[in-house]
Structure 1
Amino acid sequence: MSSTDSAEKLARDMDWNLLRTFVVLAKSRSITEAADTMRLKQPTVSSALKRLEDRLGKRLIDRSPGNFRLTKAGELLEKEAIEIHGAILRLSTLMRETVDEVRGHVQIAMASHVICPLFDNTLTEFHKTHPLGTLSIDISASRYAIDKVMSRQASIAICLVKDKNPALEYKRLFREYFGLFCGPSHPLFGLENLRKTDLAGHSTVSFVTDHMSEALRQVTLMRADADLEDRVVGTSANLEEVRRLIIAGLGIGPLPIHVVKRDIDDGHLWRLPPYDAPPAVDVYAVWNPKARLNRAEQAFLDMLLAQIDTTPMSEREYV
């Protein structure tokens, strides 16, 4: 049998529910966890994985003792399965739009607590120009926001970017600068003329993506340069929750300077060194050029890109 015939047979015989199950398995730490997520019994999920592996002739997940991770074949399949799953989910939306092409929904996947006047202006313009269009904003960690765009479950993502996926398009929306802060109960709160050496050994809180290999690498370097305690006592993917941990006094932590100006004025947070040359982090608009956008999605994307293109970068840097 030729490779073309084999591919056609696979497409004809494939049970797409197996791919849906595999998408959940790929993001889980065990078959039991995946079964709980899908509200199925563990043997049912195990059987589905075995059938998929038999159908493809490849081992997809290493399930040896103490291990549950994707094989190389599994990693490749996950990328394709996410995109296929997203395309199927969008079918119902596309069918609805054939009835009334004027209406459309824009699903925005966004990192937590994005403060950007340019983006807000786009929301205002979109609503005024297309009052029948609807929007929803789903807050999630940046990597999950990008997954949603890749799988076509979201129209656009507003998020941090670690590595650019060549299958997606990126446009820098704005740049923000991070500083280190402490809360009212911290011993350094309210002290003037502090130096970086004064921070040495203090406990720290931060974002779950505050690692050398992640998008907040510059923030990680800032914390290391301040010689803070290596052990991070509290983490969250949500900016509001990192802010809560800092104000509660668990430790010193990083936050975007422009986002917390009111907290500083209200006495909830205190800025710590370094005061000069704070690390810069870029926030991007990310979209999938292969996605078939409805009229509302395309209009919103066009408006946002126009706003970016006509606004100098100097006006999109927030300190």
Structure 2
Amino acid sequence: MTDPTRLRHDSAARFLNDRLDWNLLRTYLVIMQERNLSRAAARLYVTQPAVSQALKRLEDALGRKLIQRRGPHFEPTQAGIDVYRIASDIYGNMSRLETELDDKTEDITGSLRLLSVSRIDSAAYDEFLADFHRAYPRIEMQIEVMRASDIISSLLQKTATAGLSLCRSPVDKLEQHCVLRQRYAIFCGRHHRLFGQTQLTMDDLLAENFVSFTSDQIGDSLSPLTVFRDQRGFTGRIVASSPSLDEVRRLIFSGFGIGCLPDHIVRDDLARGRLWRLPPEEGLVDVDVYLLWHRERKMNAAEQTFLDSMLRWMQRTSLAERLDAESARS
């Protein structure tokens, strides 16, 4: 009996060999990962019309409509979903093949210094680091946890290779690529009076005291959370704060007040009954974590290899996949 999976991959291979330009396929992967033509163009360093033209050429080559546009937004068709899945597999294998066949990888030596905000919770990123170490076992890595403002300051002073940091707006001289997009929502802990209550509305939260990040102030990295509270008319006080996500979570659990946390990080806490999600149901705001480095800093071989490897990993994984533990294991 013929294996349908094998047939699908054989068919994809014939398309790629005979009819497709690899650049079109790569552009489509970025479009699907960003879900926005303008963001895809910025990531690829091309114009939006060039991205739109590449999409049309790919659809013409395949004879299928891949994306249904609705104003600035779009939804992939079933064919678009299938092409993305197959293309992701093929592109990922090609990227890994490039590294595994390079017999010079073990010769690359040196060290790099990576700065990071606390609690980068991504199984896919963990797998990337494991793959990187296997490919380049002689590269030494130092990771230091800092506040976002200190990371940006250090990068501007060229004292580190790169940083994984929040960055509210572009910083002159720093290259910036989104690694994670975290949806923040409001939670209370098991010891809070609102814990377990259903049918709550935003009005029920307005007078509650808040646990806050120390960076959650106007002009700093998490200021969208402050803007949200001000716009909704919260009157409660900030009664506890910390620069550490784990400590903010601990304070919320302990009942000091309600507070904002990335929803993908607290899934286990919700399942174990330690935290309770509060309105609004859709959450508050997306806060991005970026890979940042100084454009004018001279990189050694180890540093440049790390940046190139991480950018390739980001090209073949979507933002959603970087927060999904199941995707990392597949």
TM-score range, shorter chain: 0.5 to 0.7
Give the letter for the 2:175 counterpart: E
Worse overlay, 179-188 or 205-214: 205-214
Q: Which residue of 1 aligns with 2:294?
A: 288
Q: Which residue of 1 aligns with 2:116?
A: 110
Q: Which residue of 2 aligns with 1:126?
A: 132
What is the number of equivalent residue pairs in this alignment?
219
How far apart, CA to CA, are the structure 2 residues paired with 1:120 and 1:250?
32
Sequence identity percentage: 33
Q: Structure 1 residue 259: deviation in Å?
A: 0.7
1:264 correspondence with 2:294:
no
How far apart, CA to CA, are the structure 2 residues paired with 1:141 and 1:314?
25
Alpha carbons 2:185, 2:283 under 8 Å: kept: no
Spell out the pairing of 1:57-68 with structure 2 (5 A cutoff): none
How far apart, CA to CA, are the structure 1 residues paired with 2:161 and 2:213?
25
User: Deviating runs (4+, > 3 A) in structure 1?
Assistant: 224-230, 312-318
How far apart, CA to CA, are the structure 2 residues paired with 1:116 and 1:132?
24
C-alpha change, 1:188 and 1:206, in structure 2 (3 Å) is same
How far apart, CA to CA, are the structure 2 residues paired with 1:277 and 1:178?
6
Q: Which residue of 1 aligns with 2:305?
A: 299
Q: Which residue of 2 aligns with 1:75?
A: none
Give the letter for the 2:141 counterpart: L
How far apart, CA to CA, are the structure 1 residues paired with 2:228 and 2:281?
11
Give the letter for the 1:133 counterpart: I
Q: Structure 1 residue 104: deviation in Å?
A: 1.4
How far apart, CA to CA, are the structure 2 residues paired with 1:223 and 1:121?
36
1:248 correspondence with 2:254:
yes
Q: Which residue of 1 aligns with 2:53?
A: none
Q: Structure 1 residue 287: deviation in Å?
A: 0.6
Worse overlay, 229-238 or 248-257: 229-238
Alpha carbons 1:183, 1:247 under 8 Å: kept: yes
How far apart, CA to CA, are the structure 2 residues paired with 1:203 and 1:314?
32
Q: Which residue of 1 aligns with 2:284?
A: 278
Q: Which residue of 2 aligns with 1:238?
A: 244
Q: Structure 1 residue 221: deviation in Å?
A: 3.0
1:195 correspondence with 2:198:
no
Question: Which consecutive unaligned segments of at least 5 residues does structure 2 have?
Answer: 1-106, 325-330
Give the letter for the 1:291 counterpart: R
Q: Structure 1 residue 313: deviation in Å?
A: 4.1
Q: Which residue of 2 aligns with 1:138?
A: 144
Deviations 1:221-261 (A, max 9, x none): 33335543352111111111111111121111100000111
C-alpha change, 1:277 and 1:236, in structure 2 (3 Å) is closer
RMSD: 2.0
Deviations 1:28-49 (A, max 9, x none): xxxxxxxxxxxxxxxxxxxxxx
Alpha carbons 2:119, 2:245 under 8 Å: kept: yes
C-alpha change, 1:185 and 1:314, in structure 2 (3 Å) is closer
Which of 191, 209, 221 is matched with 2:215 structurally?
209
Give the letter for the 1:246 counterpart: I
- The TM-score, its normalising length taken from structure 2, stands at 0.62
Alpha carbons 1:183, 1:270 under 8 Å: kept: yes
Give the letter for the 1:296 counterpart: A
